[in-house]
Amino acid sequence: MNNKIKLSNEKRNEMIKSIKNYFETEREEDLGDLACNLILNFFIEELAPEFYNQGVFDSYKYMGDKIEDLLGIQK
């Protein structure tokens, strides 16, 4: 099973633009497309799975709580 997060070209370009903007405004550094691509790839490969897994866990907990609520209406 392939667990790699896939982005559309449009979304990837938006994220690269956001990375460039961050470095320009917050760090006064001008990064090129290659550097921004490498940073984005790092986030996708190393950090994004943790956020994804937390989202799955939060959804699981939320749904579990709702199922408990549903059982509470039994007569």
pLDDT at 21: 98
Say how many domains are in the chain.
1
Looking at the domain assignment, is residue 49 inside a domain? yes
**For residues 33 and 56, what is the distance between their CA atoms, to the nearest angstrom?**
32
pLDDT at 12: 96
pLDDT at 2: 59
Give me 40's structure tokens.
Answer: 């984005």
Domain boundaries, position 41: 9-71
Can you give the pTM of this predicted structure?
Answer: 0.74
Looking at the domain assignment, is residue 1 inside a domain? no
Looking at the domain assignment, is residue 2 inside a domain? no
Question: Which residue numbers in the chain have pLDDT < 50?
Answer: 1
Report which DSSP code applies to 45: I
Looking at the domain assignment, is residue 63 inside a domain? yes
